[in-house]
Structure 1
Amino acid sequence: MMIKIPSIQALRWIPPPWKSLLRRTSTITITTLIPVSMKSHRNYPNIRISLCKTYNPLELKSSKMTVTPKISINDGNLVVQGKTILTGVPDNIVLTPGPGVGLVTGAFIGATASDSKSLHVFPMGVLEDLRFMCCFRFKLWWMTQRMGTCGKDVPLETQFMLIESKDDTEGGNQDDTPTIYTVFLPLLEGQFRAVLQGNDKNEIEICLESGDNDVETNQGLHLVYMHAGINPFEVINQAVKAVEKHIQTFLHREKKKLPSFLDWFGWCTWDAFYTEVTAEGVEQGLKSLSDGGTPPKFLIIDDGWQQIEKKAKDTNCVVQEGAQ
């Protein structure tokens, strides 16, 4: 009997109706990993079973689960187009094929837990000696970028990550093999949001939280979308299109019509006054632009974000923390 699953531990997720089937048959191929919470095979019609020639049940072996031809978890490694991206991938990490666009080179990363909680931190695997660029939220309002080569370089609240790697094709000169770019996009799933972060063990972690102690879960099957290819710009483009099709709450920019006012010249008051906007200053600014032959067609009065902190105002600071 041979079962194509990530590990022997996954056998405990097979529902009772199929366990009796395992005792009577030989080869079973499960094309989708069964979630921990599954109680009945009737709830998961997408799982396909094929029965083949009878073998000795004692010949049970575990094998890799190939989600797509180019992305797989193999012997505890996350492999993308022949290159190992992450090592030490835990057994509770789940891969699901991506939708439509990018089916061959895209997949969702999920995770399962034994207990339901409002906050989970799932180690996803170890990242070492691969260059990456990521964008992370460093303030409530702002994101910035960071470069690195290992898991501990990945900051908290990472919301975009692009990893560069060479294809480990045997028998060839690595300098001649194409560079593979893999993008990771943390997503929203139900009432939960996911972000990436690193730890001191060079593991990349998925932080999954609802923000409400009463909203709990023990799994998320579409927490991070990953997509790979040789052109980083096209990889990002196709990844966003795949997420668009999956979430169905936004449109890719190719489908959006630009508003006409984007062709107009306008003026935003922020760089002129920061948080100290006055009517007199706005009038003076408009007059100055008009006198210079560039009258703005629209005006943005910007005095900063809503104040979120109760700290005393620092008179030596041009812009207060939490206001920009």
Structure 2
Amino acid sequence: MEFSSHRGGFPGFVHKKPSNRLVNSLGRLEGKDFLSIFRFKTWWSTMWVGKSGSDLQKETQWVLMDVPEVRAYALIVPSMPIIEGSFRAALSPGDNGHVMFWAESGSTQVRASCFDAIAYVHVCDNPYQLMREALSTLRVHLNTFRLLEEKTVPNLVGKFGWCTWDAFYLAVDPVSVWHGVKDFYDARLRPWFFIIDDGWQSINLDGQNPNEDAKNLVLGGEQMTAQLRRLREVEKFQKYVGGSLLDPNSPHFDTNKPRMIISKAIEIEKAEKELGRVIQEKSTDLSELQSRIERLKRELNEIIGGDQEKDAQVRGEACEDDLGLMAFTRGLRTKFKGSDDIYVWHALCGAWGRVRPGSTHLDSKVVPCKVSPGLDGTMHHLAVVKIVEGRIGLVHPTQADDFYESFHSYLASAGITGVKVDVINTLKYVSEEYGGRVELAKAYYKALTDSLIKNFKGSGVISSMQQCNDFFFLGPADFNGTSR
């Protein structure tokens, strides 16, 4: 492992008054070409260029700067993977070319005034070697993360696979998954793995019967205030009878049906947006538009429905051991030889919004969401709006290990070999009462890591919407998994 400690250093700063959020200038940057990565959404990052510290974007993760005077390049790493105590940092633009540190804990109860190593600066004459050299140096000095070559590569790397999301969205069900995989095999394109994305979980919405699953959700956005009702599959998967799709008289699959469902759901979405606009304009005549929305919803229900009564009768005739997700994965592997891995989607906190309080054995509490000033400067997006609107039903961090173990052990017993963990950006919104964003992330990261090692060989995970730096480089340095 290469490292060059003589080429780098850890800047810090001191303030007179302790605070949960401190801002300090690193110095002025003027007339120097830079390339940077910043979080344009709370979960995604992109590139930005400029010549001045004032050209930076909020929530900048690192800056690569050309320093022609010394024929070298400098890398400023404010947050990835630097976490000092319970604080994390990012760079932001300042006036008159200043590069500003923003260090924050995420809780008014967690304060500090002095930082010895809140960032790292590294210099190298080769820009292509700079990042690797800097991270190798940090690896040695901090020992809080591992480099890619030290980690176990998951089975699916370098293999062709398929995810159900763009084909079916939330309307995914056993028949659609089965025929989606079958289409690949019929075309002699074998997917080595596939992901059953959002839509398979047992969720419901506020105001609905807490003992029933939400029905007929289709488009992304509808589920963003939903809560996990059970650590199990939704009824449409739970009712699957083992072998039913292997039978010559298996249920018919209309290839046009997914398109019809999605098209009708888009009509409803547009009509509801129009209704929202009309309400904002304080129009008094809403009846015609409301009637149209109700008609469209009935039409959607008719397209989706039709077999529910039959499913219930079939379920009554089947043995409990031959129903649900386990029976479905068994059938997939029987029919489609060579598909090594079957993953399912889930959000870091269970569902998009929460684990419903009182619905499981877990201590889940609905916590209001608060977006930090830095993150509030990122792109306005429906996902953030909906999460803030619906709040988070957070399982207490002392039970995070129980949460993931209960969830993942069931999935593993049902034949699932890995998970796609999504919506990782939510913890920072609800960290006020839990020691701040870094400490809350540590608790969840450790619990997730332990469960992955036990249930999915330590590497059965795909991180989605994951570029939130609290979560990037946490955890024990001796873990060789791929969740970081």
- TM tier relative to shorter chain: 0.5 to 0.7
1:148 to 50, 55, 67: 50
Query: Which runs of no fewer than 5 residues in structure 2 stay unpaired?
Result: 199-219, 227-265, 274-380, 385-422, 424-464, 466-484
C-alpha distance after superposition, 1:60-98 (max 9, x if no partner): xxxxxxxxxxxxxxxxxxxxxxxxxxxxxxxxxxxxxxx
Q: Tell whether 2:97 aligns with 1:195.
A: no
Deviation at 1:167?
A: 2.3
The separation in 1 between residues aligned to 2:168 and 2:92, in whole angstroms, is 36
Q: Quickly say closer, same or farther: Cα 1:320–1:272, change in 2 above 3 A.
A: farther
Bigger relative contact order, structure 1 or 2, given CA contacts below 8 A and separation 6+?
A: 2
Q: Which of 302, 307, 310 is matched with 2:197 structurally?
A: 302
Cα-to-partner distance string for 1:185-224 (whole Å, 9 max, x where unaligned):
1121110001111123211001001011111111111111
Partner of 1:185: 77
Question: 1:222-241 alignment to 2 at 5 Å?
Answer: 222-241=117-136
Letter in 1 for 2:183: S
Choose 285-294 or 255-264, whichever is displaced more.
Answer: 255-264
In 1, distance between residues paired with 2:14 and 2:53? Answer: 21
- Bigger mean CA offset, 274-283 vs 240-249: 274-283
Structure 1 residues 183 and 276: CA distance shift in structure 2, 3 A: farther
Between the two proteins, what is the percent identity of the paired residues? 33
**How far off its partner does 1:275 sit?**
4.7
Change beyond 3 A, Cα 1:231–1:289: same
- Equivalence for 1:315: 269
The 3 A distance-change label for structure 1 pair 275 and 196 is farther
**Cα gap change, 1:268/1:224 in structure 2, threshold over 3 Å: closer, same or farther?**
same
Partner of 2:229: none
2:91 is equivalent to residue 137 of structure 1: no
Shift of 1:246: 2.6
SS in 2 for 1:161: strand
Pairs within 5 Å for 1:47-196:
101-168=3-70, 178=71, 180-186=72-78, 187-196=82-91
Whose strand fraction is larger, Structure 1's or Structure 2's? 1
Task: Name whichever of 300-309 and 239-248 sits farther off.
Answer: 300-309
Matched with 1:221 is: 116
Shift of 1:141: 1.4
- The 3-state SS of whatever aligns with 1:136 is strand
Secondary structure of the corresponding residue to residue 156 of structure 1? coil
Q: TM-score, normalised by structure 1?
A: 0.59
SS of 1:267's equivalent in the other structure is strand
Point out the more displaced range, 279-288 or 204-213: 279-288
CA RMSD, Structure 1 to Structure 2 (Å): 2.8
Q: Give the aligned residue type for 1:228.
A: V
The one-letter code of the counterpart of 1:307 is: M
Of 250-259 and 133-142, the range deviating more from structure 2: 250-259
Bigger proportion of residues as helix: 2
Runs of 4+ deviating beyond 4 Å: none
Q: What is the distance in 2 between the residues matched to 1:232 and 1:278? A: 48
Aligned AA (1:138): F
Query: For the residues of structure 2 that align with 1:321 and 1:256, how far apart are their CA atoms?
Result: 32
Letter in 1 for 2:141: H
Q: Deviations over 1:130-181 (max 9, x none)?
A: 111111112121111111111111111111111112025xxxxxxxxx3x11
Aligned-residue offset at 1:274: 4.3
Gaps of 5+ in 1: 1-99, 169-177
